[in-house]
């Protein structure tokens, strides 16, 4: 049986990359990727695609007086709806260039500049 939301491609976005949302309610806004989901093809961007979860106070032994309310947190978004940002701050696709020593470098299609690897 096939998995329902399985992603067949490869994510070209890594944790720590600066990306711009190219469609949807947050179109044109930029942020940093804080988590990737390669199996479903989704990414979570800091401060964007905010989802509100309503929480009811449920007393437990460890926390007898919890607070209820609305919790806002970033929700996953499809990786196809975001684009990497080049050094000029514009969205771009990437090209992989293999160096003579065998290592690979990500090159921005717009501008031709190398996109640095994100810091962990």
Give dist(CA 25, CA 113) in Å, integer. 29
| Phi, psi of 79, rounded to the nearest 5 degrees | -65, -25
Pairing status of strand 77-78 against strand 82-85: unpaired
Reported pTM? 0.81
- At 2 the pLDDT is 60
- At 120 the pLDDT is 66
Each residue's pLDDT, cut to its tens digit, for the chain (120 residues) gives 566 778 778 888 999 999 999 999 999 999 999 999 999 999 999 999 999 999 888 888 888 878 888 989 999 999 999 999 988 889 999 999 999 999 999 999 988 888 888 876
Domains defined along the chain, listed by start = 18-88 (2.30.30.30)
- At 64 the pLDDT is 84
- At 20 the pLDDT is 95
Give dist(CA 13, CA 106) in Å, integer. 11
- At 1 the pLDDT is 54
pLDDT in tens, 18-27: 999 999 999 9
- At 3 the pLDDT is 63
């Amino acid at each position: 049986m096939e998995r329902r939301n399985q992603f067949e491609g490869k994510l070209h976005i890594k944790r720590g990359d600066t990306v711009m949302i190219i469609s949807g309610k947050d179109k044109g806004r930029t942020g940093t990727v804080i988590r990737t989901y390669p199996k479903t093809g989704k990414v979570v961007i800091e401060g964007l695609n905010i989802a509100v979860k309503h929480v009811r106070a449920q007393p437990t032994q460890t926390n007898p007086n919890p607070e209820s309310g609305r919790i806002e947190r970033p929700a996953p978004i499809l990786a196809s709806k975001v684009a990497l940002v080049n050094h000029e701050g514009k969205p771009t696709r990437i090209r992989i260039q293999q160096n003579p020593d065998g290592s690979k470098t990500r090159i921005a299609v717009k501008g031709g500049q190398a996109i640095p690897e994100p810091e962990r």
